[in-house]
Structure 1
């Protein structure tokens, strides 16, 4: 009981400290060790890697990373089915390769013969450019995952299909990466024809049963146009000070590592047996990778309302939507087949909320990880992520082969 209270308190302290330092703090270039950036993170293992940029209709310039084939497969075969991977909140394309060949989903998909593309949503460390706005301006950060779904995903998907001459692709998302998908398909249902199958890891749409203090604290954040005008700034940006502090704080053998792991558990759920503590400092070199405060606040609105709906601007909803309340996203038009994969101990994307989502989606199936302690971050970093998650993803994709 004491440990739980301490962990929750520490989560709040870390959140406030790192957020403020991430936005305003100066940092020393020598505060953290040098680790390879994408795509060198991939090529160091002998896999080919590419970097692509695409501009959205509203001017954001996004970076995508690609593993076109595996050294274990025939590199001359160009007719490869495409899989698109989309990360969650304050994450990046690194999520899919950080655990290395044989474990990371990006590598496993390439080994299985897929052409693997990894997106980076606006506002993370690989997508902080705009064709007119500077990332130093509050207007740059005036977006949530709604805009990521409406603008980012169509730009990336269309670019991929054009450059691979494919008619459709498969989509795998984690957390916010699943939220973006539901937004896209609800607002632009014509993309049902461009995504042949979707696999949702830790699916997030409804947040009625979240246990995470990290998520629940958003209920205390005011909504409305006036607050939005003064609070558009980065959310957990990847900076050498803050990420370097996390690396040192969470290094194996330090007296602070247990506090560090407890903080992560307070966010996503407890599962100490699956946390790779040796890898944790490396993970925290790249995570958090940044997003916007508005994206985080939008999730808080879902907790308060109990609905999956568009951003709440307060009284300005009358001018924005023609109604006092924002409209719900329409699940009825999402006809792409969706496989929901859920963690039994996920404090952010709870089984109860995932079950409700399953009932709302007209064409879906529900799978629960066969480990009672499995949490939100285990989908990416678990010691047994290959056998518990990624092998399942590969088997589900094999059902939908059209090559």
Structure 2
């Protein structure tokens, strides 16, 4: 069973148990939010329900995508009159969204912990997820809207949001924390546009996905389908797993304690098995927001990395590669240009981001400031955002490192 099947099953459940999306409630009135279950809440609603201030910002990329960002400017536990708070930007992985940084709740989720420590927290949403479906000229119903992979997310999305945040906050640089595809985007940007390296004070790479020759997950089967050529490009220019923001209450039945093993196994087959860190009560909330949408082309581009073992641009096939790149093969990303300080974090049971592949990445980067393994043998790819003990296993050390860096 692969990631495609996982998302198909989840999307099928959504189809049968779909409810309408709720609009964002005014942050000055939490009474309505307190009555709503978390699986029905958007990211801003969840943040407001938990008593934190939240702002919604939009940045437009040079190719016309309008990206939504969710900001937690301060914590109710901190002095909100303080100015010049250090800025931290959190970027989610494939099929995820900003909500994954807050889904564990106050005192546990990384976004809240960072706000509590005095950081100005910004949560990104890559093009094609449920919060970033607007464009200056295109709509999600048009195939051209979906003609992107994580390459465009790195070359267009990240520059747009980083420049917006720095202008808004009047800061010189940001702390960057990326998970999975969020790390891929960072390495695409800083390798192709090295002038952006100075805009990152420190990058924390959770489960980095760059080299993928040692993937143990069933998602590795994607490599066999990562074909190239004109017909393949036309096929891949489509949306995938385009979801609503909420599920109906039936999801509570579909993935309650009696069926926890079935629903959790769908995640474990992709990320690696770690049932002890997945809270059964949290599972319906997670599946209410995942998958959050992306393009087929992004998935296929990862399949190409698995097939070739290289970190390179999208392979259109030799004929089209000559047209686009002037070479038969797609050019590699120049990791030697990534001069921003980077600290890598791995899970010992991560089926997507292996220690072997991360060590290869480590050897290519000129400014590595740390390589770390989470001290739990079963810690998997999804645990970086959803593990119930992520605070003690990972987040506390990360925040301490950031403060001392």
Deviation (angstroms), 1:215: 3.7
Work out whether residues 177 and 204 of structure 2, in 8 Å CA contact, stay in contact via their aligned partners in 1: yes
Mapped to 1, the partners of 2:251 and 2:124 lie a distance apart of 25
Match of 2:390 in 1: 385
Mapped to 1, the partners of 2:223 and 2:184 lie a distance apart of 17
Match of 2:297 in 1: 294
Match of 2:70 among 62, 65, 74: 65
Match of 2:230 in 1: 225
Match of 1:29 among 4, 19, 34: 19
Work out whether residues 92 and 181 of structure 2, in 8 Å CA contact, stay in contact via their aligned partners in 1: yes
Deviation (angstroms), 1:377: 0.5
Deviation (angstroms), 1:218: 4.0
Deviation (angstroms), 1:239: 2.9
Match of 1:303 among 302, 306, 322: 306
Work out whether residues 19 and 247 of structure 2, in 8 Å CA contact, stay in contact via their aligned partners in 1: no
Matched, 1:280 2:283: yes
Mapped to 2, the partners of 1:53 and 1:121 lie a distance apart of 12
Range moving further from structure 2, 284-293 or 226-235: 226-235
Deviation (angstroms), 1:20: 7.6
1:337-393 Cα offsets, whole Å, 9 max, x none, are 100010011000111101111111111121011111110011111111101111121
Match of 1:343 among 347, 351, 363: 347
Matched, 1:159 2:164: yes
1:237-279 Cα offsets, whole Å, 9 max, x none, are 223798877654322223xx31221121110001111111111
Work out whether residues 243 and 287 of structure 1, in 8 Å CA contact, stay in contact via their aligned partners in 2: no
1:199-222 Cα offsets, whole Å, 9 max, x none, are 000111000000111243343242
Deviation (angstroms), 1:75: 0.5
Match of 1:357 among 345, 348, 361: 361
Matched, 1:180 2:185: yes
Match of 2:25 in 1: none
Match of 2:261 in 1: 258
Match of 2:203 in 1: 198
Match of 2:374 in 1: 369
SS at match of 1:190: helix
Say if 1:368 and 1:243 are closer, same or farther in 2 by CA, change over 3 A.
Answer: farther
Match of 1:54 in 2: 59
Mapped to 1, the partners of 2:136 and 2:151 lie a distance apart of 20
Say if 1:88 and 1:12 are closer, same or farther in 2 by CA, change over 3 A.
Answer: closer
- Kindly report which structure 2 residues correspond to 1:34-113, keeping only aligned pairs within 5 A, or say none: 35-113=40-118
Structure 2 alignment gaps of length 5 or more: 23-36
Mapped to 2, the partners of 1:135 and 1:21 lie a distance apart of 22
SS at match of 1:253: helix
Range moving further from structure 2, 361-370 or 212-221: 212-221
Mapped to 2, the partners of 1:295 and 1:116 lie a distance apart of 26
Work out whether residues 40 and 246 of structure 2, in 8 Å CA contact, stay in contact via their aligned partners in 1: no
1:37-60 Cα offsets, whole Å, 9 max, x none, are 121110111111000011000000
Match of 1:319 in 2: 323
Say if 1:221 and 1:248 are closer, same or farther in 2 by CA, change over 3 A.
Answer: farther
Normalised TM-score (structure 1): 0.91
SS at match of 2:258: coil
Deviation (angstroms), 1:14: 4.0
1:133-174 Cα offsets, whole Å, 9 max, x none, are 011011000000000000000000000000000011110000
Work out whether residues 69 and 111 of structure 1, in 8 Å CA contact, stay in contact via their aligned partners in 2: yes
- Kindly report which structure 2 residues correspond to 1:123-162, keeping only aligned pairs within 5 A, or say none: 123-162=128-167
Mapped to 2, the partners of 1:239 and 1:106 lie a distance apart of 23
Say if 1:248 and 1:139 are closer, same or farther in 2 by CA, change over 3 A.
Answer: farther
Mapped to 1, the partners of 2:395 and 2:248 lie a distance apart of 27
Deviation (angstroms), 1:312: 0.3
Mapped to 1, the partners of 2:181 and 2:127 lie a distance apart of 12
Mapped to 2, the partners of 1:130 and 1:332 lie a distance apart of 33
Match of 2:32 in 1: none
Range moving further from structure 2, 54-63 or 242-251: 242-251
Mapped to 2, the partners of 1:244 and 1:205 lie a distance apart of 38
SS at match of 2:344: strand
Mapped to 1, the partners of 2:12 and 2:283 lie a distance apart of 23
Say if 1:345 and 1:126 are closer, same or farther in 2 by CA, change over 3 A.
Answer: same
Deviation (angstroms), 1:15: 4.2
Work out whether residues 218 and 296 of structure 1, in 8 Å CA contact, stay in contact via their aligned partners in 2: no
